[in-house]
């Protein structure tokens, strides 16, 4: 009931006009059911359980943050809400769940026409020098729009997006989060980061400056997966909560945990740890949530 109430509080009626942020996915890159997972967490495939992504509708323009393996379903959902056919994509980095959906834009699929793809320099180089992604560029299925760290991109007179470099496993590209500034409200989107304390920026100060903060919650706690978790560093939810513990409830209410691994017990709305965090003021993102930016 509490989850439904939180969702109801933030869902708005979306028309074809307006400026709205939409949650399109909440899972870690590999989704769920997860490959080779035979545990209860993967036993049942859940409806609309997609890899992490946000969408922004700004009047007749549509922007998708991440090109996930679920890109087709996610863009179809945005269109069902009245979004325009044309869209642009913002990529955070070159880990599978964040760019692999670009494959749907190629000759074998949609054969898209010059879709703008915003990417940082190393991400751009990765796409330009590796197949099949370079074919998308060569055939002009996509057109790379270069980004620079902390340099705002004006998308309209009332919408701008700023990339923010974050520390992460940068094997193939740098990693960024995004600050999304709407007409009157703003959001922070950081689906991947190694640890908050490794970032040169103060996450608490940034939270205070935005209206919504969608933050990395890949794992709930140490020992969650059967391999050394240092191989895939992320801030555990319990670590984030410890860092944010002294925030007033009004600030905790801004935080929406996202990018949950298939193993994360907080995916279960009845999990006691999740219920306690929600009681304390934190929230968990869910598919279809809508947030006004105007």
Give me the CATH code for the 2-292 domain, please: 3.60.15.10
Whole-angstrom CA distances from 149 to 49, 153, 273 are 31, 11, 36
Whole-angstrom CA distances from 291 to 20, 127, 182, 252, 272 are 6, 32, 11, 16, 27
Band the pLDDT of 193: cuts 50, 70, 90: very high
CA dist 51 and 233 (Å) reads 18
Q: Tens digit of pLDDT for each residue in 251-266?
A: 999 999 999 998 899 9
Pairing of strands 212-216, 255-258: parallel
For the cut 80, the answer to whether the pLDDT of residue 100 exceeds it is: yes
CA dist 218 and 191 (Å) reads 8
Average predicted confidence (pLDDT) for the chain = 92
For the cut 80, the answer to whether the pLDDT of residue 47 exceeds it is: no
CA dist 125 and 76 (Å) reads 29
Q: Are 192 and 214 in contact (CB under 8 A)?
A: no
Kindly give, in sequence order, each residue whose CB lies less than 8 Å from that of residue 75, ignoring residues fewer than 6 positions away: 55, 62, 64, 87
pLDDT average, residue stretch 179-190: 99
Q: What order do you get walking across the sheet with 159-165 strand by strand?
A: 153-156, 159-165, 176-181, 186-190, 212-216, 255-258, 283-284
Q: Tens digit of pLDDT for each residue in 218-237?
A: 999 998 888 898 898 999 99
For the cut 70, the answer to whether the pLDDT of residue 37 exceeds it is: no
Band the pLDDT of 171: cuts 50, 70, 90: very high
For the cut 90, the answer to whether the pLDDT of residue 271 exceeds it is: yes
pLDDT of residue 31: 64
For the cut 70, the answer to whether the pLDDT of residue 64 exceeds it is: yes
For the cut 80, the answer to whether the pLDDT of residue 16 exceeds it is: no
Q: Domain boundaries in the chain?
A: 2-292
pTM score of the predicted model: 0.92
């Amino acid at each position: 009931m509490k989850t439904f109430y939180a969702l109801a509080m933030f869902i708005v009626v979306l028309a074809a006009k307006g400026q709205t942020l939409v949650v399109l996915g909440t899972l870690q890159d590999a989704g769920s059911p997860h490959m080779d997972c035979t545990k209860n967490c993967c036993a049942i495939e859940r409806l609309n359980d997609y890899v992490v992504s946000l969408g922004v509708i700004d009047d007749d323009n549509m922007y998708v943050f991440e090109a996930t393996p679920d890109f087709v379903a996610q863009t179809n959902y945005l269109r069902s809400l009245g979004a325009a056919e044309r869209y642009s994509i913002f990529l955070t980095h070159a880990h599978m769940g964040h760019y692999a959906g670009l494959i749907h834009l190629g000759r074998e699929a949609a054969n898209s026409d010059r879709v703008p793809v915003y990417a940082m320099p190393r991400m751009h180089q990765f796409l330009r020098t590796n197949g099949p992604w370079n074919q998308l560029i060569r055939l002009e299925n996509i057109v790379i729009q270069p980004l620079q760290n902390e340099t705002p991109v004006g998308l309209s007179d009332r919408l701008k997006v700023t990339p923010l470099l974050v520390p992460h496993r940068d094997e193939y590209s740098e990693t960024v989060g995004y600050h999304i500034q709407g007409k009157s409200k703003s959001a922070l989107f950081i689906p991947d980061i190694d640890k908050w304390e490794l970032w040169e920026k103060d996450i608490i100060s940034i939270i205070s400056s935005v209206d919504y903060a969608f933050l990395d919650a890949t794992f709930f706690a140490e020992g969650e997966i059967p391999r050394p978790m240092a191989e895939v560093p992320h801030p555990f939810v319990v670590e984030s909560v410890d860092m944010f513990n002294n925030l007033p409830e009004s600030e905790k209410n801004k935080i929406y945990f996202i990018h949950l691994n298939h193993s994360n017990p907080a995916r279960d709305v009845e999990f006691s740890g999740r219920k306690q965090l929600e009681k304390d003021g934190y929230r968990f993102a869910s598919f279809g949530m809508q947030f006004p930016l105007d």
